[in-house]
Structure 1
Amino acid sequence: MLDNLTTRLAKVVKTMRGEARLTESNTAEMLREVRMALLEADVALPAVREFIAKVKEKALGEEVISSLTPGQALVGVVQRELGALMGADLGADASQLSFAQQPPAIILMAGLQGVGKTTTVGKLAKYLKEQKKKKVLTVSADVYRPAAIAQLQSVTAQVGADFFPSTAQDKPVDIALAALDWAKKHHHEVLIIDTAGRLGIDEEMMKEIAAVHGAVKPIETLFVVDAMLGQDAINTAKAFNDALPLTGVVLTKLDGDSRGGAALSVRHITGKPIKFAGVSEKLDGLEAFDPQRMANRILGMGDILALVEEAQKNVDTKAAAELAAKVKSGGKFDMNDFKAQLAQMKKMGGMSGLLDKLPAQFQQAASGANMDQAEKQVRRMVGIIDSMTPQERAKPELIKAARKRRIAAGAGVQVQEVNRMLNQFEQMQTMMKKLSGGGLMKMMRSMKGMMPGMR
């Protein structure tokens, strides 16, 4: 996510931190680098100009000049202003959805075709159901694309929310009103309306969305925009902001763009907060947007808090506690435990997902690793474990030459792959023994080279 921008800015941040004294010359040089990095990332020129002006003003201010570590003070200024550019100055509540109306709270989704709007409705329904414990109803008012109605029905079923059926023969306003009536009668707390997208901005489309908006009076009108659109995202945002009283923005495909300038431009253009970001194609790949934490990630400072939240959300704490108790009481860490650990890592977004949230120095340490190759190797390891008998999983020491050949054939790999996996398992087993004895630092040193692709 935002790889190029992060790489460029992380270098600038490192240079800034090392400056014992700030002069007009070295400050100007750093700001020039920051400006170039932002423009290359497709950030809108007006947003870049305003950002640089604010940083420059504060960089030459008393706070930075009088600091014992002016370089680090300047990094703090860049970090705060980057957060402000994405909406941190709007306050912590700005990025929260509002439910302050008589249920159901209506959320209207608007945006161009192909930006991932319908999938985002499903992701949002899942988020509200699981994180906010809301009873959610979805409906599609996209009468021009029958496949969109079927798609929304499918994703809604996958996330366990309720769906209100509609057809291509219905009128969008009638669909929205009928869904609202149904939601009231069946005590739904949230109604999410998916509207029609077009391949481009047109007047008819804007009139139609405005009519739906006027009929149901949603408490939230969210503009869904593809982060990969670059400068086009800015033009689209402006058109929708002029036509509708938007309350927020949802950025999609933020994981698929190495530039991601839309993330830094859309809020500046619309003045509306970014409320959510799509960070993967999976239906749980929607994150509440936090401008300051995103600023940290862009500057190569990582987002450890997001990593902790990911762990709290996905890690089976009961299973983790049981494994800890088992190892502490002298029980052997076996192949079933090893497979469970690999599954937990996958739940947290795999190695690339975890790495994305770590500070730049950790990412640089793993820069030689091929993450795709590492993910494949993890899948292969699970396949090898699945080819073992229950007895072999419980007692891996039984696995000798003949058994290795049989397991390799069952998993469709070479015997060398089985040997490599067994070696990695043994390293993990050794780590677990050290952990039970309290040797945490020794364990951390042992981790080097243990995971595939991270040598």
Structure 2
Amino acid sequence: MFENLSERLTKTLRFVTGQAKLTEDNIKDTLREVRMALLEADVALPVVKEFVNSVKERAVGVEVSKSLTPGQVFVKIVNEELVRVMGEANEALNLAATPPAVVLMAGLQGAGKTTSVAKLSRLLKDREKKKVLVVSADVYRPAAIKQLETLAAEVGVDFFPSSADQDPIDIARAAIQHAKIQHHDVLLVDTAGRLHVDSDMMDEIKRLHAAINPIETLFVVDAMTGQDAANTARSFNEVLPLTGVILTKADGDARGGAALSVRHITGKPIKFIGMGEKIDALEPFYPDRLASRILGMGDVLSLIEEAERKIDKDKAEKFAAKIKKGKGFDLEDFREQIQQMKNMGGMMGMLDKMPGMGQLAQAADASKAEKGIIQMECIINSMTPGERRNPDIISGSRKKRIAAGSGTQIQDVNRLLKQHKQMSKMMKKFSGKGGISKMMRGMKGMLPPGMGGGPGGFPRM
């Protein structure tokens, strides 16, 4: 997400340099580029106008402190304005109600409502430790009811049955009663979608909303529809008292216009963002973290939180203890690190969140990189336990066998062994005094020119 906008902005913002302060003249061209970058990202025109005017108003005449360059000051202003446009801070779900807290999901057909119900139910169950019940009031698509039942079983939450011959209001009321009896904390109500906004659909969802009085009414919208996402959200907001937005399919949207337009046009916060098809690919929306990623400054907090959830802590501690004692880094360890990285969304997913690495992730051929990771794992899996523990015994004949077993070439096996040897040397630096700082210096030396920050790279913040 935001690949195009991020690339344009990071290039553009490098040009504001060499002045004692920012003036209208020395930021004029940069502001024009910022405006074009936002329009190309399909951000709504009123949002672009207000954004550029606000940046200009704040930037002109700003004195640059000794510790910052004009470019850094300008980036700071742009970053803060991006955060303001998208909503300042994450707004969590309001579940402060007598159980069950009812959450109504609305949106157009194909926006990903049913999948979002399942993803949100999993998030509430796993992270908030809530007992969740889901129900489908989409009586026009029996397949949607079946889909929700299947997804509910997959994520381990309760499903309340419904059928196409029932009235949506009766379904929702019965589900609320069931949730009370079974002591559910939260009830998520999936509703019918249409291919476009129409009066019948709006009347039905208005009646449903009035009948069940949900504490949260979330509008689910496809990020890939760009400006239309914000306009559709506005249409729904005129009919329903929306409390927030779920932005879906954001991983497939290289522009990002929806995320930058929805809050401004509707006045409603984006509460969650869907970043993939997997059932756990729904995250709380943090405007400050996303702004940081747009400007190529990474999203370390999200990376840390993801690591805490997805990395096997016992294995990580054992690995750290082994390295600290200087016991070496064998191919079993290498495979373990590959698997942990896959759990974290693969190499591209991690690079995108690391400061200064966003552009590297964009420049890399993502599919080729991920294929390379899978290939490495296949090669290691084709080795014997003895070979994985002691790679030095891998002779020419063994390499031939390993290549045949993994469907690769001997040069692929050689490449993997070379990479392992380099990593093994780096890991040894962990065990000595000042190990981490030595390792960081080594990693910095491996980065391509311009990726280390400072001269030739993106300005340090």
Same fold (TM over 0.5): yes
Cα contact 1:6–1:300 (8 A) shared by 2: yes
In structure 2, the residue matched to 1:219 is 215
- Please give the alpha-carbon distance, in whole angstroms, between the structure 1 residues aligned to 2:132 and 2:236: 26
- Read off the aligned partner of 2:6 and give its amino acid letter: T
Aligned equivalent of 1:259, options 255, 258, 267: 255
Aligned-partner SS, 1:234? helix
Q: Which of 293, 299, 302 matches 1:297? A: 293
> TM (normalized to structure 2)?
0.91
Q: Which moved more, 1:281-290 or 1:383-392?
A: 383-392
Alignment equivalent of 2:411, drawn from 416, 429, 438: 416
> Does residue 46 of structure 2 align to residue 46 of structure 1?
yes
Q: Is the 8 A contact 1:19 1:71 kept in 2?
A: no
For residue 204 of structure 1, report the CA deviation from its aligned partner: 1.0
Q: Which residue of 1 aligns with 2:455?
A: none
Cα pair 1:83 1:295 within 8 Å, conserved: yes
Pairs within 5 Å for 1:36-435: 36-60=36-60, 64-65=62-63, 69-88=69-88, 92=89, 95-359=91-355, 361-365=356-360, 368-435=363-430
Amino acid at match of 2:439: M
2: distance between equivalents of 1:232 and 1:31?
Answer: 25
Aligned-partner SS, 1:267: helix
The question of whether the paired residues in 2 share the 8 Å contact of 1:16 and 1:75 is answered with: no
What is the match of residue 5 of structure 1? Answer: 5
Q: Is the 8 A contact 2:40 2:255 kept in 1?
A: yes
CA shift, 1:128, in A, is 0.8
How far did 1:220 drift? Answer: 0.6
Secondary structure of 2:383's match? coil
Question: Residues 219-241 of structure 1: CA distance to partner in whole angstroms, max 9, x if unpaired?
Answer: 11000111110122122111111
What letter matches 1:374 in structure 2? A
Name the SS of the counterpart of 1:57 in structure 2: helix
* Distance in 2, Cα, partners of 1:339 & 1:70: 45
CA distance in 2: counterparts of 1:143 and 1:79, whole angstroms: 45
Q: Secondary structure at the match of 2:233?
A: helix
When the two structures are aligned, how many residues end up with a matched partner?
A: 444
Aligned-partner residue type, residue 395 of structure 2: K
SS in structure 2 opposite 1:95?
Answer: coil
DSSP 3-state at the match of 2:357: helix
How many angstroms does 1:67 deviate by? 5.1
Structure 1 residues 278, 17: closer, same or farther in 2, change over 3 A?
Answer: farther
Distance in 1 separating the partners of 2:18 and 2:153: 54
1:104 Cα offset (Å): 0.9
Question: Is 1:23 paired with 2:23?
Answer: yes
CA deviations over 1:341-398 (Å, ceiling 9, x no partner): 0011111111110121123x43345665322211101111111222222232233333
Specify every segment of 5 or more residues in structure 2 that has no aligned partner in the other structure, as ranges.
Answer: 452-461
Instruction: Indicate how the Cα distance of structure 1 residues 79 and 368 shifts in structure 2: closer, same or farther if over 3 A, else same.
Output: closer
Aligned equivalents of 2:56 and 2:250: distance in 1?
A: 29
Amino acid at match of 1:237: A
Identity %: 60
Mapped partners of 1:267, 1:110: distance in 2: 17
- Tell me by how many angstroms 1:206 deviates: 0.9
Gaps of 5+ in 1: none
Normalising by structure 1, we get a TM-score of 0.92
